[in-house]
Structure formats: C-alpha cells, structure tokens
Amino acid sequence: MFVKMLPSYAGLTYFGRLFPLKQLLRSSVKKFSSDKSAAVILGIESSCDDTGCAIVNTDGVILGEALHSQRSVHLDNGGIIPPLAGELHRQCITKVVEEALVSAGLKLKNIDAIASTVKPGLPMSLRIGTEFGKYLSRIGNLPFIPIHHMEAHALTIRMTEKVDFPFLVLLISGGHCLIALAESIDHFLLLGSSMDDAPGEAFDKIARRLKLRNIPEFANLSGGAALEKAASKGTDPNRFQFMIPMTRLQDCNFSVSGIKTAAIQHTKRQERLHEIEGDQLIPDLYDFCAGVQLVLTRHLCHRTQRAMEFIDRKNLIPEGNRTLVVSGGVACNNYIAQALETVSSEMGYKFLRPVPKLCTDNGIMIAWNGVERWKANCGVLRDQKEIEKVDIDSKALFGEDWSEKVSNERISCKWVKIPDPRIRKR
C-alpha cells in the first residue's frame, strides 16, 4: 500500500513511478537559494477532499494555480470516505501540479521551495500531498516547508490585506472550529475550540437529512451552501426555537452537536407526523433552515465576543489595532459573516475575511504560508536527510492552549444583538 511507503531513496524512486512526471518537471534543477528577499514557492494541499497546487511569490502574487475538487463524488456517497479521498488525490496530484506550473509558465527549476500540508487532516489524503512534495523537493534539489493546515488558513488574509500581529482569528470549517490569538507566523494562543462536531460538518449532515439535494437548485451545492440558500428563502427564522449551546459555560469553546441532533430529531418527528416518505420534504423547510443557521450563528458570535472581552481584559492586542479575521469554508456563509462583522464593530474590531476562493481549502494558502515562513526563515528544511524524516500528523494540535485561562476569568457578557437574517419574500 502506498500509505505505508517510507520516505527513503527507494521509496522516492517508487513514488516517481507511481506519479510519472512529464519533461516539464524533469528540467534542469537548481541549487538551494538563500535569498529571502525574492522567492517563488509551490504549495500543495491535500488534507481532506480537495487536491490543490499553487505557485506564489514573495510579493503575494499568484503566478499559477490548479484545483481538483472531489465534492461531487462525496456528495453522491453521502459524505467523505477517507480511502476514496486518498485514492482520488493519488490519481490527480501529478496533473494538478503540472497544471499549476503550466498556468504559471514555469518549470521546477524556477521554483525556490516546495511547501506541503503535513498536518492535520485525513491520514491517507495528507500522505499523498506530503510525499509528493518531498518527491519534488528531492528531484529538484529544493528546500521543503512542512505546513500546518490551520495556520495556513489563519494567515491567508495577510496575502491580500495588511494585518499586523497580533490579531484574533476565528477558523470555521467542515473539520474545525477554533478561535485563537495569532501572535506571529508560528505562535498562536488557542482561546477555544470545538468540543464535538465542526459547524460545516453539522450543516452538511442536517442538509443531507433534510434531503435538500432533492430540490433542483440545491442539487450540486455542498450541504452548507444548500442550507444557507434555503435559509435565505425563509420568512420567519424564529418559527423554530433552538437552544443556544453552552450558555452557562464561561469559556470560548464551541459545541454544535446539540444543534445537529435537535435538527435531525425534528426532521424525523415531522416525517412521522406528516407521513413523509421517499423524496418528500418536511413542511416549513426554509424557515427551519433559517432557524438552524440563526442559532449556530448566535453561538459563534457569543464565543467570539467573549474572546474579545478576554483580550481586552488582558490587553493582548493594542487598542486601535484590533482585528478579527474569519476564515475556513463556513466563513463563506454571508449571514454568519454579517453577524460577526456586527459583533466586531460593536467591540471595536476591524472585521476581515478572505475572498470565498481563499476561505476554502486550496493550494494558494499553503504556498503563501510557505512564503511567510521563507521570509522569516522559519521551518524551512534544506537538508534532504531531515526532509526525508518529515511525516504527517493527522491529529496535530493548534497553538498553545489558553482555553483554561479564559475559563478562569469567568467573563460574563452582555451579548451584542446580531441582525435578523436577510430574507427574500417568496
């Protein structure tokens, strides 16, 4: 099995046979460069179900990119199947990297370093991108930069906006939910994280149980995107009342499993009550989606506001320089972003989020994190023996855990009122 392959010379040779590269990649190689003022970094992302590659220079210019999404395959299977995701990465990674190089008009000899996601994520998926990146490093005699997926999400905004350290970052996606203080390129203070399901995962499972794919206009959307669109069609988001999670706990941790369970149980009750079978949908579907979105949004806003008040109490960010960055796939939800922007404004924070394309998993964020590390000379590996020892860490932690310190402050908040969902009349 490929996933057991060792990063030895023999292993890399075998890897080359598994992933035959065209002449484009076999062109003459270059010596290691130590010039930190100008460089071109190739980034590879394969932590979950998207295979991404991008080439970015130290000015933050995207020279080339390519992305292969597995979304339609996993939608048909009712969720991500890890072995299938890994196999699909293996099948397309060579093509994706070649397409990125072609779009940039570059060859491997024009690249200064390879950056690959090595943690956290699905083991079989991570393995493909990590070993392929190490393979390119070896045949191109290039430095290798191991990347933490969540750190990359946190810093992507710095490619397009001037954001100085320290700043507050909220990462919300299908696999993660956390809030942290970004103190530097490689140092984060974790103020709170998910105790169970991630928001994107909960949205996907609720959307699947509601059979939103049976509605033609939602058929090709992810669960989260379908639920957001369905919610926008509601007329009364308060028709269904959900309990906001963890209101008695004075911390910044997140929990959405209760929302997911309540939504699924309600769906089952409505199906029994109305004798719904097959592709039929429950009554008041759009209002129900609006209610689900509203309660999850309030939960995210409450935990974020407490993090802001903790930062204010500890004076962790200079007043007048306070910024909230929101990233990850769920950050694409415009109502959630609007509500967080309202909280930010009331608390004296500037609100920023990357464009939707950069919120979701992509090679650009990995290449940019490689650029940041290259410029800071932080975590750039140049010894091939050291590079060969790099391994994946599917359950890597994020930052220094300060969640208990937040709890110990026992911060009570007067919650900022968030706007009602903007709805379209039917």
Look at residue 72 and tell me whether its pLDDT is greater than 70.
Answer: no
pLDDT band at 271 (very low <50, low <70, confident <90, very high): very high
> Does one domain contain both 24 and 151?
yes
pLDDT band at 340 (very low <50, low <70, confident <90, very high): very high
Residue 422 lies in a domain: no
Determine contact, residues 418/343, Cβ cutoff 8 Å: yes
> Does one domain contain both 340 and 380?
no
Residue 421 lies in a domain: no
Q: What is the CA radius of gyration of the chain?
A: 22
Residue 89 lies in a domain: yes
Does the reported pTM lie above 0.85? yes
pLDDT band at 320 (very low <50, low <70, confident <90, very high): confident
Residue 74 lies in a domain: yes
pLDDT at 184: 97
Mean pLDDT of the chain: 90
> Does one domain contain both 373 and 242?
no
List C-alpha distances in Å: 1 to 14, 67, 89, 195, 224.
12, 25, 14, 34, 34
Residue 305 lies in a domain: yes
- Residue 148 bridge partners (DSSP): 119
pLDDT band at 2 (very low <50, low <70, confident <90, very high): very low
> Does one domain contain both 147 and 167?
no
pLDDT at 376: 96
> Does one domain contain both 154 and 171?
no
Q: Which domain holds residue 29?
A: 2-158+360-395
Look at residue 60 and tell me whether its pLDDT is greater than 60.
Answer: yes
Span 195-230, pLDDT tens digits: 999 999 999 999 999 999 999 999 989 899 999 999
> Does one domain contain both 150 and 169?
no
Number of domains in the chain: 2
> Does one domain contain both 349 and 371?
no
pLDDT at 17: 54
> Does one domain contain both 218 and 343?
yes
Which residue, 94, 172, 171, is CA-closest to 133? 94
Residue 413 lies in a domain: no
Backbone angle region of 342, left / alpha / beta, with phi > 0 → left and psi within -120 to 50 → alpha? alpha
Span 341-364, pLDDT tens digits: 999 999 999 999 999 999 999 999
What CATH number does the domain containing 67 carry? Answer: 3.30.420.40
> Does one domain contain both 316 and 337?
yes
> Does one domain contain both 383 and 347?
no
Span 244-270, pLDDT tens digits: 999 999 999 999 999 999 999 999 999
Span 321-337, pLDDT tens digits: 999 999 999 999 999 99
